[in-house]
């Protein structure tokens, strides 16, 4: 994309300008909160993730080179912080892929569920399923990237994604209202 959309604000942040820090926070806090929330599924934890991510980002601004947009760079920090929360919460690791669930879980011709029903069903998924589903569908990462982020194999990421779709369908058809 070339130079950062907010290069001037970032430069001012690097020079210690507190108003620039606040401007950058205002520009990105809502969208980054949403990214964190979709992974941790808890408002208070998502707020913590957001604060920790901004602290890390401000401390590491000298490492931001502008080869990706600032938003993409910051989003990666938010995702890493959110995944850390999930890892701390998890008592057992994600199971390795032991079977494949068919990819054609959804019948896309008929989808009688509201956005709100889908949101609630996603929130009801176990952490591992929700993390992979969110990273793949909502954040646009591929399975190789998800494997790197979560410290799992690519086949486990694919398996977890397929299982999450199956579980999501069960929750929706079971009346997650």
pLDDT tens for residues 114-136?
878 888 888 899 988 898 998 99
Q: How many residues does the chain have?
A: 177
**Segments of the chain assigned to CATH 1.10.1740.10:** 7-89
What pLDDT score does 176 carry? 45
**Is residue 161 over pLDDT 50?**
yes
Is CATH 1.10.10.10 the right assignment for the domain spanning 93-177?
A: yes
- Token pair listed for 40: 């941790």
Give 85's contacts (C-beta < 8 A, 6+ positions apart). Answer: 39, 40, 45, 48, 49
Matching CATH number, 7-89, of 1.10.150.120, 3.30.230.70, 1.10.1740.10, 2.60.40.1080: 1.10.1740.10
Q: What is the DSSP string of 135-176?
A: IIIIS---HHHHHHHHTS-HHHHHHHHHHHHHHHHHHHHTT-
Q: DSSP class of residue 133?
A: H
pLDDT at residue 99, rounded to an integer: 42
Whole-structure pTM value: 0.67
Say which DSSP state 47 is in: H
């Amino acid at each position: 994309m070339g130079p950062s959309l907010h290069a001037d604000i970032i430069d001012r942040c690097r020079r210690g300008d507190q108003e620039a820090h606040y401007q950058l926070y205002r520009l990105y806090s809502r969208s980054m909160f949403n990214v964190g929330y979709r992974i941790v599924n808890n408002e208070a934890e998502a707020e913590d993730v957001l604060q920790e991510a901004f602290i890390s980002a401000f401390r590491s601004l000298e490492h931001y080179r502008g080869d990706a947009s600032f938003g993409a760079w910051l989003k990666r920090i938010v995702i890493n912080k959110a995944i850390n929360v999930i890892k701390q919460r998890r008592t057992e690791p994600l199971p390795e892929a032991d079977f494949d669930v068919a990819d054609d879980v959804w019948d896309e011709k008929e989808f009688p569920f509201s956005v709100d029903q889908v949101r609630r069903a996603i929130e009801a998924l176990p952490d591992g399923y929700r993390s992979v589903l969110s990273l793949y569908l909502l954040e646009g990462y591929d399975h190789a990237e998800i494997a790197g982020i979560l410290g799992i194999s690519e086949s486990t990421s694919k398996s977890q994604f397929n299982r999450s779709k199956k579980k999501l369908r069960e929750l929706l058809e079971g009346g997650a209202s």
